[in-house]
């Protein structure tokens, strides 16, 4: 008898199971016996290992049938069956008795899809393990109880996600009521004043305030909408190849008016050679815009922000170094959270939703990258974004 055994010793930690987890993320076994082996070996294997719920039958080194523990012992409970079959080959038994086809599913089937299919099986097969198929011909087994525990965990995560989404809606409504009221009030007030003013200089001044307030509202709404989109677990990235350095230069150019208004400078220290990466260009632009806008917003008049790009192995790094107010230890603990109000304040009355860095982190992690921050109060803050050069679709 040639027996192949490959069992994971520990249960998969629930922390590794997410909403989109597939069956290959769970505990799988690979216990196989050959078509020509004696059936008594199967009996001993089941009898000595209560955790084994099924055995893979191989024929010519390829998957042929599933021997279910439950159905095997049901048939062997008859003494006549025991005497008739245990001296014969595995092949003789499966061809005569194991006629029901096992549930076979590809490795990328989600936990919820697999559980749904498993529970639709005939009553006689409900306790059978599922056969997991791999593209290279490999076959593994998934215990139905492990699958159902994972299904419960995924449903729990779904409920938690829905609860958070509901809380987020409440936060958004509260933020809108609080933060948008001020600029909207300014627009209404200054527009009312304009109706009764003949002085061109004063009219221009009021128009300037109206324009600033409108921009504040636009920024808040844009970040809120972006946050809603990025919170979706079904978000799709439009991955293309592009020059990272050119994108950074374009973002810096778009911020030129803000930079001039505060007599600041943004210095880009980039590699002379183009840095080509595969990513969602629009979303990476959003990350860079958030970091540079914050650098300008929280730095005083005359300050300089430095942007550096480097490459190492298969990763690219974007470093943004500002001369702003710096962040406290307490700020650093919550800096990437939603609607966070930090100790540092915009230096020229600019608005802040508390969403920008949250979005930057979400987008970076969707690209399998990381974002980190170091800061010193009164000195400045440094953000480092790491991204893989080549996007790998999992």
| 295-337 pLDDT tens trace | 999 999 999 999 999 999 899 999 999 999 999 999 999 999 8
| Residues 231, 243 within the same domain | no
pLDDT of residue 31: 87
| Residues 297, 337 within the same domain | yes
pLDDT of residue 10: 40
Strands (DSSP E) along the chain, which ranges?
Answer: 3-7, 29-34, 54-59, 62-68, 104-106, 130-133, 139-142, 239-243, 265-269, 276-280, 304-312, 315-321, 370-376, 380-388
pLDDT of residue 387: 96
- Tell me what the mean pLDDT of segment 268-280 comes to: 89
Query: By three-state DSSP, how is residue 179 classified?
Result: helix
- Tell me what the mean pLDDT of segment 281-288 comes to: 91
pLDDT of residue 311: 93
309, 270 Cβ separation under 8 angstroms:
yes
Number of domains in the chain: 3
343 pLDDT above the threshold of 60: yes
Extract the tokens encoding 376.
């010193």
| Residues 15, 108 within the same domain | yes
| Residues 29, 133 within the same domain | yes
pLDDT range class, residue 45, cuts 50, 70, 90: confident
Q: Which residue has the higher pLDDT, 259 or 4?
A: 259
Please, is 181 exposed, middle or buried when counting C-beta atoms within 10 Å of its C-beta (0-12, 13-18, 19+)?
exposed
pLDDT range class, residue 364, cuts 50, 70, 90: very high
| Residues 326, 312 within the same domain | yes
| Residues 214, 293 within the same domain | no
pLDDT of residue 242: 96
| Residues 392, 247 within the same domain | yes
Span 167-208, pLDDT tens digits: 766 666 655 555 565 566 666 666 666 666 666 777 777 777
Write the DSSP string, 79-99.
Answer: HHHHHHHTTSBHHHHHHHT--
Extract the tokens encoding 298.
């929280």
235 pLDDT above the threshold of 60: no
The domain of 25 spans 3-153
pLDDT range class, residue 1, cuts 50, 70, 90: very low
Q: Which residue has the higher pLDDT, 6 or 117?
A: 117
52, 68 Cβ separation under 8 angstroms:
no
| Residues 59, 140 within the same domain | yes
Residues 6+ apart with CB under 8 A from 249: 268
| Residues 208, 348 within the same domain | no
Extract the tokens encoding 229.
């989109």
Extract the tokens encoding 164.
């958070």
Span 84-95, pLDDT tens digits: 677 788 888 877
**Could you tell me the CATH number of the domain that includes residue 381?**
3.30.565.10
pLDDT of residue 244: 96
Query: By three-state DSSP, how is residue 72 classified?
Result: helix
Q: Which residue has the tokens 């500002």?
A: 322
Domain boundary among 153, 168, 192: 153
Q: Which residue has the higher pLDDT, 108 or 352?
A: 108
| Residues 385, 244 within the same domain | yes
Query: By three-state DSSP, how is residue 142 classified?
Result: strand
252 pLDDT above the threshold of 70: yes
Q: Which residue has the higher pLDDT, 49 or 208?
A: 49
Span 128-141, pLDDT tens digits: 999 999 999 899 99
67, 55 Cβ separation under 8 angstroms:
yes
Give the DSSP letter of residue 22. Answer: B
363 pLDDT above the threshold of 60: yes
pLDDT range class, residue 233, cuts 50, 70, 90: very low
State pTM to two decimals: 0.51
Query: By three-state DSSP, how is residue 251 classified?
Result: helix
Query: By three-state DSSP, how is residue 360 classified?
Result: helix
Residue 167 belongs to some domain of the structure: no
255, 266 Cβ separation under 8 angstroms:
yes
- Tell me what the mean pLDDT of segment 372-389 comes to: 95
Cα–Cα distances (Å) from 393 to 26, 58, 130, 218, 384, in that order, read 20, 33, 26, 34, 23
Cα–Cα distances (Å) from 321 to 199, 269, 272, 375, in that order, read 44, 11, 20, 10
Residue 96 belongs to some domain of the structure: yes
Please, is 53 exposed, middle or buried when counting C-beta atoms within 10 Å of its C-beta (0-12, 13-18, 19+)?
buried
């Amino acid at each position: 008898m040639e027996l192949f055994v490959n069992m994971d010793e520990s249960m998969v930690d629930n922390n590794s199971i997410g909403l989109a987890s597939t069956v290959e993320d769970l505990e799988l076994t690979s216990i196989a016996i050959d078509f020509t082996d004696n059936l008594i070996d199967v009996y001993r294997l089941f009898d000595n290992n209560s955790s084994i719920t099924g055995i893979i039958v191989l024929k010519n080194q390829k998957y042929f049938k599933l021997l279910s523990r439950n159905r095997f012992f049901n048939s062997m409970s008859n003494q006549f069956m025991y005497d008739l079959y245990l001296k014969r080959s595995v092949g003789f038994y499966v061809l005569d008795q194991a006629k029901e086809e096992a549930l076979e599913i590809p490795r990328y089937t989600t936990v919820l899809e697999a559980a749904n299919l498993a529970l639709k099986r005939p009553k006689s097969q409900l306790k059978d393990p599922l056969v997991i198929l791999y593209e290279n011909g490999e076959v593994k087994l998934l215990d139905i109880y492990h699958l159902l525990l994972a299904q419960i965990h995924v449903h729990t995560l779904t409920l938690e996600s829905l609860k958070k989404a509901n809380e987020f809606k409440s936060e958004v409504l509260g933020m809108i009521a609080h933060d948008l009221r001020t600029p909207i009030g300014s627009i209404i007030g200054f527009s009312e004043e304009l109706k009764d003013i003949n002085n061109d200089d004063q009219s221009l001044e009021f128009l300037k305030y109206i324009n600033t307030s409108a921009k504040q509202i636009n920024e808040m709404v844009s970040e809120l909408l972006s946050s809603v989109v990025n919170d979706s677990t079904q978000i799709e990235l439009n991955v293309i190849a592009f020059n990272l350095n050119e994108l950074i230069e374009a973002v810096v150019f778009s911020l030129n008016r803000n930079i001039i208004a505060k007599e600041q400078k943004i210095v880009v220290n980039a590699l002379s050679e183009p840095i080509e990466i595969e990513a969602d260009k629009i979303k990476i632009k959003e990350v860079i815009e958030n970091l540079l806008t914050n650098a300008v917003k929280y730095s005083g008049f005359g300050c300089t922000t430095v942007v550096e790009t480097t490459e190492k192995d298969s990763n690219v790094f974007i470093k943004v170094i500002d001369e702003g107010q710096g962040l406290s230890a307490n700020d650093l603990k919550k800096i990437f959270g939603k609607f966070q109000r930090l100790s540092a304040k915009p230096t020229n009355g600019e608005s802040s939703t508390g969403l920008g860095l949250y979005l930057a982190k979400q987008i970076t992690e969707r690209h399998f990258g990381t974002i980190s921050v170091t800061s010193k109060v009164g000195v400045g803050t440094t953000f480092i974004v790491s991204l893989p050069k080549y996007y790998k679709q999992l």
